[in-house]
Structure 1
Amino acid sequence: MASRWEELERWMEGQHLPKGFEVIREPDWVEKFVRGLMTKALPEASEVIKGKDTPGITETEQSITVQFRLPPGARRGDIGLYVREDRLRIIDRESGNRTMVPLPVLVQPKVCQAAVKSGILYIKLRKRRASKQYMEHYIRW
């Protein structure tokens, strides 16, 4: 396998690429590019790379839904859910495990709907609206 990579490297060195294409010769850039293509093409494979315990986050125009797989045998009083405007904290009181889930956008912590179905905790949060009001501030000279 290494010999094929060496052949590819020799071939790339011999190519006269136009300006701006020198980045293709860098292995780190190529790896990041291929990884990005794979995660877009095969979302299931990206979940394996990230880990099975990674919560799924879907986003709509007005809300965010987080899907979190609960541990087997979890009961009503075992799980604690805490919402902050930028993240969630899910606590398993039985085992003491804490999971922090960063959110892609800011949410309203007081507006939350949570339900458990088939061992998955579904959490729906309302996005926080951006303020359209300008605030004037003093500038020191």
Structure 2
Amino acid sequence: MEKKWDELERWLDGQRLPKGFDVMKEPDWVEQFVRKMMTKSLPAAANSILDQAEEEGISFFETHHFLLVKFHLPREVNREELRLLVRDDRLRIEGLPNNQKETIKLPKLVQPKICRAVVKNFVLQVKLRKRPRAGAYYEADIRWLKGR
């Protein structure tokens, strides 16, 4: 699958797209576009992620910049074996009793390196920074050269 994305990227690089279509060359924009289209066409599927999570003892809370996830741990969990692995679209909790692993699909994309996790009363609370919206402006330094 990755090979096909690379081929598509190379093909887009060689295309002379009309003005305004240059965003098609940005992978983040394409990913966001596809995600929006899937959410619009399958709203029930998008909501099913949240419904399924609630059934499994998982809750989400969203602020402007952060996504908070709460996961109820079993009482038999060993604190030395518990591990939290973070990806931009999901969490994986390892070290649960009976060598179980739990994968939690996140409702929003996050920055995996910016994460805080704490356990209180056998509830794992994870605070994740949401990924900034594509199209954000960043100020760049401008150098002035002497010349004509």
1:59 pairs with 2:49? no
Match of 1:80 in 2: 83
Q: 2:121 aligns with which of 114, 118, 123?
A: 118
Please show how residues 1-141 of structure 1 align to structure 2 within 5 Å. Answer: 52-92=55-95, 94-132=97-135
Separation in 2 of the partners of 1:65 and 1:50? Answer: 13
Which stretches in structure 1 are left out of the alignment for 5+ residues?
A: 1-35, 37-45, 135-141
Which stretches in structure 2 are left out of the alignment for 5+ residues?
A: 1-43, 45-49, 138-148
Q: Name the CA shift for 1:71/1:127 in 2 (closer, same or farther; >3 Å).
A: same
State the structure with more CA Rg: 1
Separation in 1 of the partners of 2:54 and 2:128? Answer: 24
Separation in 2 of the partners of 1:127 and 1:70? Answer: 24
The alpha carbon displacement at 1:94 in A equals 4.4
Q: Name the CA shift for 1:62/1:74 in 2 (closer, same or farther; >3 Å).
A: same
TM-score, normalised to structure 2's length?
0.53
CA contact (8 A) 1:82 1:89 kept: yes
The alpha carbon displacement at 1:91 in A equals 1.1
CA contact (8 A) 1:63 1:124 kept: yes
Q: Name the CA shift for 1:51/1:110 in 2 (closer, same or farther; >3 Å).
A: closer
Separation in 1 of the partners of 2:114 and 2:66? Answer: 10
Q: Name the CA shift for 1:69/1:86 in 2 (closer, same or farther; >3 Å).
A: same
TM-score, normalised to structure 1's length?
0.55
Percent same amino acid at aligned positions?
Answer: 37
The two structures, once aligned, show a CA RMSD in angstroms of: 2.6
